[in-house]
Structure 1
Amino acid sequence: MRKHFILFLIGGILSLIIAMGIGRFAYTPILPLMQKDLSFSNAVAGYLASSNYAGYLLGAILAGAIPLKKYRTISLRIHLITSILTTMLMGLTYSPLLWYMLRFVSGFASAFVLVLASGIVLDKLASINKTSWSGLFYGGVGLGIFSSSIIIPILNQSFQWEGTWIGLAAISGILAFFVWSWLYDTPNNVEMKNTQVAFAQVPPKKWIPWLTIAYGLEGLGYIVTGTFIVSIAEKTSFFHNNATFVWMMVGLAAIPSCLIWSVLAKKWGYVKSLVLAMVLQSFGIMMPVFWMSKNSFVISALLFGATFMGITTLATTLGRQMNPSNSSQTIGNLTAIYAGGQLIGPTLAGVISSFTHNFNLALLGAASVILLGAGLLFNGIKFEREAPKMTKPKNFSL
């Protein structure tokens, strides 16, 4: 039983490495390589990012709306294959129009993988009273970012940016074999709605709209740094030709962050932990504006990496706990509003930076909307103090 669960969890982690760490976020460190070779503007870079997030938005909406409870495994596999193919095709064309289409489809696939894998894994964890282990699962995004930041410079040195996309797709294909073998729904997961599960003190279901709006503002703000941090660093004298190091720091901090925030949430409460994470993230985003140095970029990257997936872990786990009978729909709705913010952020930041010739105003705006989102969450703290604890079911060892 224990070995089976470990392989199941690894399969979930690998699915996020493929669809999120590589399929979605590899664009950030590859972007300056493409711009250096092809000389397209920040505005075009922003449009490319936004096309990905437009697909992500549509995918999140459909993943939450379509009743896929009995077909999560096969749907997950189809969208993993789609993510890998779009990654490969990015290195086989020079047409911006095709890039827009590929990034759109890639975003669509990554949203489905995130929502479906989250539903499968979180339902399984809840059924065995191990919800706090969700941090290990979401750490797959950070692991994908960190690993790709090591691999990308190596691939680029030998095969240029085109070969980098293709090489990452080949690696993803290998990892997908293990996902296919280890990650799948079980009857226990499908019947979760009939299972009593022990949850920490959380706000009632009616509080979900507050969480949703705050999470949308987080998506709008964080993605500015998530898209452009490597490009910003590349234009300084501190990281010339070595800006991928900044993205490596993001990934390094993201790997343990989800587990750490899960532990803190169990001790302090999910809402308080979300507020703290968003405040720390906003501070990190605005840091390079007021303190331009190598250290400021490293600290900013570490704070960003330590919070952005932690916030996703907290928000999706909290949403699932408030509506356990339909976890995929709740996670899909949260992911959709998050993606809506991401759709606006890169385009707005790209246009502003093209007009002001720097990213300072865009970074300050991003930090401000995240602080606003944190402020909206304050009224949920009272529920964590007042909500009665639920009776824990019998726990069994793995």
Structure 2
Amino acid sequence: MKKQSFLFLIGGILSLIIAMGIGRFAYTPILPLMQKDLSFSNTVAGYIASSNYAGYLLGAILGGALPLKKYRVIILKISLIISILTTALMGLTYSHFLWYVLRFLSGVSSAYVLVLASGIVLDKLAVISKTSWSGLFYGGVGLGIFLSSLFIPTLNRLFQWEGTWIGLAIVSGILASFVWIWLDEAPNDLEMKNKQEIFALVPPTKWLLWLTIAYGLEGLGYIVTGTFIVSIAEKTSYFQKDATLVWMMVGLAAIPSCLIWSVLSKKCGHVKSLVLAMALQSLGMAMPAFWISKTSFIISALLFGATFMGITTLATTLGRHMNPSNSSRTIGILTAIYAFGQLIGPILAGVLSSFTHNFTTALIGASSVVLIGAGMLLNGIQFEKKSKGILISK
């Protein structure tokens, strides 16, 4: 049982590597390579990014709203196939319109994978009383970012940016074969879930509104750094040849981050941990706007990597604990508002940077938005203080 559960978890991690770490986020380090070769503007780059987030928004809404519980493993696997195909096709066309379409479809599939894989894996971990493993699961996104940043420089050197997309799709295809074998859902998992699960006392369900708005602001702010940090670094004298290093630092920090934030949330509370993570992220995002150096970019990348998936872990876990009877729907709603923020962020940042000829204003604005979101969560700490010692979480 232990080996089977471990392989199941690895299957979940691999699905996030494919759809999120590669399918969704590989655009960030490949973007400067494409711009260098094809010379399109930051505004166009922002539109391509936002088309992905528009798809992500649609996927999150559908993933949370449609009754997919019986078929979620099948739909997850179909979504992975779409993610791999859209990644490959990005390297086979030079049409802006087709890029918009491909990134949109990639966004839909990555949202489905995140929402469905989160529901499948978190439910299974609850059944086997291993909810603490959720941090390992969400670490798959960071691992995907790190792996893609290892492959990208070599693939680009050998096959240019076109071959980089195709090469990453081939890697994804190989990883997907293991997801097919290991990620499966036993019929009795769902029945056992409610019997074996005890949740920590969390803020009341009505507080979900505060969490949802703050998470939407996080989506709006974080995505500016998430989309443009490599392009910004590449335009400085410090990273002209190795800007992918910045993205590698993001991935490296992201791998253990979810586990660290999960442990911290058990000791200090989910809301407190979420506020701290968003405040640290805000600091890291603003850093390159005020201090341009190799060190500032590395620190910014590490702080960003250490928090962006940690925030997702904390927010989705907290939301799920507040509404355990329908985890996929709650995660879907949170992911949808987060995706709506992401949809707007790159367009605003792209237009602002084209207007001001730098990213300073966009970075400061994005950092401020995340800090406001953190401030909105402060009123939730009181519930954790009240609940301390009343209920024991498994």
CA deviation vs aligned residue, 1:200-248 (integer Å, no higher than 9, x gap): 2311222111111000000000000000000000000000021000000
Displacement of 1:392 in angstroms is 6.0
Partner Cα distance (1:33, 1:182) in 2: 35
Contact 1:142 1:255 in 2 (8 A): yes
Is 1:138 matched with 2:143? no
Q: Which amino acid aligns with 2:123?
A: D
Deviations 1:134-160 (A, max 9, x none): 100000000000010010001000000
Structure 2 CA distance, aligned partners of 1:223 and 1:188?
39
Aligned mates of 2:96, 2:110 — CA distance in 1: 21
The residue aligned with 1:147 is: 147
Which residue in the other structure is 1:265 paired with? 265
Q: Which residue is 1:46 aligned to?
A: 46
Whether the 8 Å contact between 1:124 and 1:188 is mirrored in structure 2 is no
1:126 aligns with 126
Q: Cα 1:389–1:125, aligned 2, differ >3 Å: closer, same or farther?
A: farther
Per the TM alignment, residue 190 of structure 1 is displaced from its structure 2 partner at its CA by: 2.2
What is the distance in 2 between the residues matched to 1:129 and 1:221? 35
Post-superposition Cα deviations, 1:306-326, rounded to whole Å, max 9, x if no partner, equal: 000000000011111111110
Which amino acid in 2 is paired with 1:150? L
Quick check: 2:126–2:196 contact (8 Å CA) kept in 1?
no
Q: What's the secondary structure of 1:335's corresponding residue?
A: helix
Cα deviation, 1:235-268, whole Å, max 9, x if unaligned, reads 0000002100000000000000000000000100
Q: Deviations over 1:2-52 (max 9, x none)?
A: 100110000000000000000000000000000000000000000000000
State the alpha-carbon separation in 2 of the partners of residues 314 and 225 from structure 1.
20
Match in the other structure for 1:396: none
- Which residue of the partner structure matches residue 366 of structure 1? 366
**Corresponding residue for residue 21 of structure 2:** 21
Hey, what does 1:190 align to over in structure 2?
190
Map Cα deviations across residues 86-141 of structure 1 (whole Å, 9 max, x no partner): 00000000000000000000000000000000000011111222212110000000
Aligned to 1:319: 319
- Residues of 2 paired with 1:266 and 1:201: CA distance? 11
What do the CA deviations read for 1:156-213 (whole angstroms, capped 9, x no partner)? 0000000000000001001001001111222243225642512223112221111110
Alignment of 1:276-291 (within 5 A): 276-291=276-291
2:96 is aligned with 1:108: no
More deviation, 41-50/374-383: 374-383
Tell me which residue corresponds to 2:163: 163
Q: Is the CA contact (8 Å cut-off) linking 2:150 and 2:248 kept in structure 1?
A: yes
Query: By how many angstroms is 1:386 displaced?
Result: 1.6
Counterpart contact for 1:79–1:112, Cα < 8 Å: yes
Q: Distance in 1 between matches of 2:304 and 2:195?
A: 37
Kept in 2: contact 1:60–1:112 (CA 8 A): yes
Determine the C-alpha separation between the residues in 2 that align with 1:143 and 1:194.
31
* Letter of the structure 2 residue corresponding to residue 146 of structure 1: F
The letter of the residue matching 2:78 is I
The residue identity in structure 2 corresponding to 1:317 is: T
Give the alignment's TM-score, normalised by structure 1: 0.97
Answering whether residue 239 of structure 2 is matched by residue 239 of structure 1, we say yes
Q: Which residue of 1 aligns with 2:354?
A: 354
Alignment match, 1:378: 378
Supply the distance in 2 between the matched residues of 1:87 and 1:236 (Cα, whole angstroms). 28
Distance in 1, Cα, partners of 2:361 & 2:144? 30
Alignment partners' CA distance in 2, 1:113 and 1:155? 26
What is the DSSP-based 3-state SS (H/G/I as helix, E as strand, rest coil) of the residue aligned with 1:67? coil
Q: Distance in 2 between matches of 1:191 and 1:319?
A: 21
Secondary structure of residue in 1 paired with 2:84: helix
Identify the residue that residue 207 of structure 2 maps to in structure 1: 207
**Change in 2 beyond 3 A, CA 1:389/1:73:** farther
Alpha-carbon distance in structure 1 between the residues aligned to 2:188 and 2:253: 34
Structure 1, 364-373 or 203-212: larger mean CA deviation: 203-212
Kept after mapping to 1: 8 A contact 2:202/2:318: yes
* Alpha-carbon offset, residue 390 of structure 1: 3.8
Give distance in 2, aligned partners of 1:272 and 1:106: 34
Asked if 1:86 is matched to 2:102, the reply is no
Three-state SS of the structure 2 residue aligned to 1:129 is coil
Alignment check: 8 A CA contact 1:139 1:256 kept: yes
For 2:147 and 2:194, the matched residues in 1 are separated by 39
The amino acid that maps onto 1:12 is G
Contact 1:139 1:309 in 2 (8 A): yes
| TM-score, L = length of structure 2 | 0.98
Q: Any gaps of 5 or more consecutive residues in structure 2? A: none
Q: Which amino acid aligns with 2:322?
A: M
The 8 Å contact of residues 69 and 190 in structure 1, kept in 2 or not, is answered as no
| Aligned-pair identity (%) | 78
Of the structure 1 ranges 276-285 and 118-127, higher mean CA displacement relative to structure 2 is found in 118-127
Amino acid at match of 1:302: L
